[in-house]
Chain A
């Protein structure tokens, strides 16, 4: 266990894991040595219940998905048990069209998102994987249980992958009731469980699926990422393939807020603990998947005033930037820091809720994931 007051940015990239330590003002940065070098790291996240604990979801193109944990903020890493589907030689790997054939086994292709459980369950972790898989551990990763209500969902044969893969990328736990869970899956949509994952209800009402004949189906939306508002656990902000949305009723109904921006495509969204009612989106051109304005930009949504605000001037960082679904994070300080990693390896930081911005002076490989670890991070 490592207990200090340092703020750390945890960065997962195409070629490894980086831990970046910051000073108290969040303007000077020290980039640590790369770990898991050469490997895709889809998500790096701290567990604030256990100071020092950081997880890296490594997906090797050669030897598959591997889950690592550090107990000292990245100085040393150990491989821990990686969740996998039950290994069996009696169930076929693919569906052969015969209805009497047992259900196929879906090997885990990639690990996408790890979510620590509530403080009252200090050994619980949730893990989302591809293809559309959810796992839970209650012993900090020594063993994993697949969640059959998702992994063997009766409709999953019709769950097609999105362009990034059939990922389960969003997992949220209601801080008031740990039995209330939310998941988001690419090209399937969001679901809510009220019973700890035993059953799920689709929660996509109001979200457009422009690529389907039925534009507002019950499921099939390509949700990219969802975050909860820190002050109101019933409010969520959603970046979907079909636009930017907010829900105020536990995802029962979504309202599109992105239309004033024109093309409201994107992947990432974050909401700061110190500024409830705010959400940060990175708007991308829907075809090119880069910032369409010709410069780096973050849009702030103010849920109280229902207004948008651009946080950067057009001359700050000219260029075309891509940001992936885990590519934006906030810290728990006041004013909140905002951290954005791009697919071309820039790590942009605002230490003051978007008032000023700078770039961490290090050229990273393409960034998949940015999160923040500090004594009270999320």
Chain B
């Protein structure tokens, strides 16, 4: 949102917009430390509205571009996505609810797949990238 150029909030937000391609619909990119700090400095939204990006392999089944989702955990986010895009069901998680082995979930640039996984809280998070591991052959 563009406002008075003298408003420090707007300057910070514009700065954030310039440095974070995901926000303006660019390709999914993990944030640098500087980008994270700039992003964190902006005030948190009232609800956990997140930008979600899937990599090219998963886009066949889900959103092709950036998707806005309101969710408070990775599990909740995946439930919402699967309801909107039924073909995504069981593609990211198997039927026991575990993330598939080669799926990687990044919350604001941090890979949570091998740690808190689907139980990861999304409080304060902005961007979720769902990518695949460097694997195959």
Using a CB–CB distance below 8 Å, which chain A residues touch chain B? 38, 61-64, 66, 79, 82, 84-89, 93, 105, 107-108
Pick the residue among B95, B97, B135 that contacts A61 (CB under 8 A): B135
Verify A63–B57 contact, CB threshold 8 A. yes
Report the nearest A residue to B133, measured CB to CB.
Answer: A62
Given A61-B135, A62-B57: A89 in contact with B97 (beta carbons within 8 A) = yes
**Residues B114-137 near A (CB distance < 8 A):** 132, 135-136
Other than A62-B103, A108-B94, give 13 A-B pairs with Cβ distance below 8 A: A61-B135, A61-B136, A62-B136, A63-B91, A64-B94, A64-B100, A66-B91, A85-B95, A85-B96, A93-B96, A107-B95, A107-B96, A107-B98
Q: How far is the CA of A87 from the CA of B94 in the complex (A)?
A: 8
Verify A61–B87 contact, CB threshold 8 A. no
Kindly list the 3 A-B residue pairs having the minimum CB-CB distance in the complex, ordered from nearest.
A63-B91, A107-B94, A93-B96
Of A62, A79, A82, A89, most B-chain CB atoms within 10 Å: A62
Report the nearest B residue to A84, measured CB to CB.
Answer: B95
Chain A residue numbers with a CB within 8 Å of B135 are 61-62
Chain A residue numbers with a CB within 8 Å of B103 are 62-63
Verify B98–A93 contact, CB threshold 8 A. yes
Using a CB–CB distance below 8 Å, which chain B residues touch chain A? 57-58, 61, 87, 90-92, 94-98, 100, 102-103, 132, 135-136
The distance from the CB of A66 to the nearest CB of chain B, in whole angstroms, is 8
Q: How far is the CA of A82 from the CA of B94 in the complex (A)?
A: 12
Q: How far is the CA of A84 from the CA of B94 in the complex (A)?
A: 9
Chain B residue numbers with a CB within 8 Å of A62 are 57-58, 100, 102-103, 132, 135-136
Q: How far is the CA of A226 from the CA of B52 in the complex (A)?
A: 47
Pick the residue among A63, A84, A86, A88 that contacts B58 (CB under 8 A): A63
Verify A87–B91 contact, CB threshold 8 A. no
Q: How far is the CA of A82 from the CA of B87 in the complex (A)?
A: 10
In the complex, number of A-B residue pairs with CB atoms less than 8 Å apart: 47
Report the nearest B residue to A66, measured CB to CB.
Answer: B91
Given A62-B103, A63-B57: A82 in contact with B90 (beta carbons within 8 A) = yes
Verify B132–A79 contact, CB threshold 8 A. no
- If over half of A's interface residues share one DSSP class (helix, strand or loop), that class is named, otherwise mixed; here it is loop
Report the nearest A residue to B96, measured CB to CB.
Answer: A93
Chain A residue numbers with a CB within 8 Å of B136 are 38, 61-62
The distance from the CB of A208 to the nearest CB of chain B, in whole angstroms, is 36
Verify B102–A61 contact, CB threshold 8 A. yes
Chain A residue numbers with a CB within 8 Å of B57 are 62-63
Chain B residue numbers with a CB within 8 Å of A66 are 91
The distance from the CB of A80 to the nearest CB of chain B, in whole angstroms, is 11
Q: How far is the CA of A350 from the CA of B24 in the complex (A)?
A: 58
Pick the residue among A82, A86, A87 that contacts B97 (CB under 8 A): A87
Report the nearest A residue to B97, measured CB to CB.
Answer: A89
Report the nearest A residue to B58, measured CB to CB.
Answer: A63
Verify A105–B102 contact, CB threshold 8 A. no
Verify A63–B95 contact, CB threshold 8 A. no
Verify A86–B95 contact, CB threshold 8 A. yes
Verify A79–B87 contact, CB threshold 8 A. yes
Report the nearest B residue to A93, measured CB to CB.
Answer: B96
Q: How far is the CA of A326 from the CA of B98 in the complex (A)?
A: 31
Report the nearest A residue to B94, measured CB to CB.
Answer: A107
Report the nearest A residue to B87, measured CB to CB.
Answer: A79
Chain B residue numbers with a CB within 8 Å of A38 are 136
Chain A residue numbers with a CB within 8 Å of B87 are 79
Chain A residue numbers with a CB within 8 Å of B102 are 61-62
Pick the residue among B61, B96, B100, B132 that contacts A87 (CB under 8 A): B96
Q: List 19 A-B contacts (CB under 8 A).
A: A62-B57, A62-B100, A62-B102, A62-B135, A63-B61, A63-B91, A63-B103, A64-B91, A64-B94, A66-B91, A79-B87, A84-B90, A84-B94, A85-B95, A87-B96, A89-B97, A105-B96, A107-B95, A107-B98
Chain B residue numbers with a CB within 8 Å of A86 are 95
Chain A residue numbers with a CB within 8 Å of B92 are 63
Q: How far is the CA of A250 from the CA of B95 in the complex (A)?
A: 36
Q: How far is the CA of A287 from the CA of B65 in the complex (A)?
A: 49
The distance from the CB of A89 to the nearest CB of chain B, in whole angstroms, is 6
Report the nearest A residue to B131, measured CB to CB.
Answer: A62
The distance from the CB of A102 to the nearest CB of chain B, in whole angstroms, is 12
The distance from the CB of A67 to the nearest CB of chain B, in whole angstroms, is 11
Chain A residue numbers with a CB within 8 Å of B100 are 62-64
The distance from the CB of A61 to the nearest CB of chain B, in whole angstroms, is 6
Chain A residue numbers with a CB within 8 Å of B132 are 62
